[in-house]
Amino acid sequence: MVPMACFVTKIKKELFAKLQNDLGTKGFVFTKPPYTVFSARKPGLSVNLYESGKLTVQGKNQEEFIRYYLEPEILQDFSFTQNKDNPNLAARIGIDEAGKGDFFGPLCVGGVYADEKMIQQLIKIGVRDSKKMTDPKIEKLAAQIKQIVPYSVIRIFPTKYNLLYSKFQNLNELLAWGHASAIEELSTKTGCQSAIIDKFAGEHVVERALSKKGLKLDLTQITGGESDPVVASASIIARTAFVEGMRMLSKQVNFPLPKGAGPQVITAGRNLVDRDGKEILGDVAKLHFKTRGVILGA
């Protein structure tokens, strides 16, 4: 079994001090990001305690820490180690994005809501990290996912993307806006107040974007979020939206636009500019990429 990406639980406030003191004696180093009581780290482990009492544990040494310390000393509940081979079936919204590293094409954010029955169905059809699958397989799975769960797609084509980037002046801020928009749509549609995303920036970045929309919910941000079946489903939805968007743009300009930002993209960009002029890049590409300067010889 692949280790779960993040263990999430809740503890009572009277245990906050004990937990912090205990972690201090175990060699953890503390910081205090926004909305947390503390964030504690040591090699192979990351523990975050939020003001709400939510506690997250990540890292390759996660299971040993939970089994031999957290459950007996803090939780006094052994359900994790007794059921560690069972997936988390709690209803939640999962969010992920595609296209942020591609010079050509849209930026896409995918969102999925799934309850216990839906999660079981997603696992049954073979949902997993989209980065480990071919695009044809991803598109086939996306069609199945859309028959199982409520979903959201935020697809930002280059013309709008470049306008938004000039406003935000930061890719992570733009991404956070996209994530918050997908969460807002699904939370409104389903009433769900719990979301999990693949962490891409400091936790306050997405939390601030949600706050600007007046959204208050339980948000978990984890590295390697695609190991969660709901986030993996959102990743598949986002990747499919990106692949479809690339086809649409290629047809629109009658030119095959390659994925990524490597040499083949530079060659294609130069050929496209030679044919249509440098202004065409604003219609098909993310202009803040250094790739633009390489293509134009700047």
Structure tokens that stand for 115 in this block: 């309850």
User: For residue 130, is it within any domain?
Assistant: yes
User: Are residues 100 and 76 part of one domain?
Assistant: no
CA 278 → CA 6, 215, 257, 283, 292, distances in Å?
Answer: 45, 41, 15, 10, 9
User: Are residues 102 and 65 part of one domain?
Assistant: no
Using DSSP's 3-state secondary structure scheme, residue 222 falls into strand
Domain with 156 in it: what CATH number?
Answer: 3.30.420.10
How would you write the pLDDT of the chain (298 residues) with one tens digit per residue?
A: 334 568 889 999 999 999 999 999 999 999 998 889 999 999 989 999 999 999 999 888 888 898 878 988 898 876 666 555 556 788 999 999 999 999 999 999 999 999 999 999 998 888 877 777 889 999 999 999 999 999 999 999 999 999 999 999 999 999 999 999 999 999 999 999 999 998 888 888 999 999 999 988 888 887 777 878 999 999 999 999 999 999 999 999 999 999 999 999 999 999 999 999 999 999 999 999 999 999 998 6
Using DSSP's 3-state secondary structure scheme, residue 142 falls into helix
Q: For residue 130, what pLDDT is reported?
A: 74
User: For residue 192, is it within any domain?
Assistant: yes
Supply the pTM of this predicted model: 0.75
User: For residue 219, is it within any domain?
Assistant: yes
User: Are residues 108 and 69 part of one domain?
Assistant: no
Domain with 76 in it: what CATH number?
Answer: 3.30.310.10
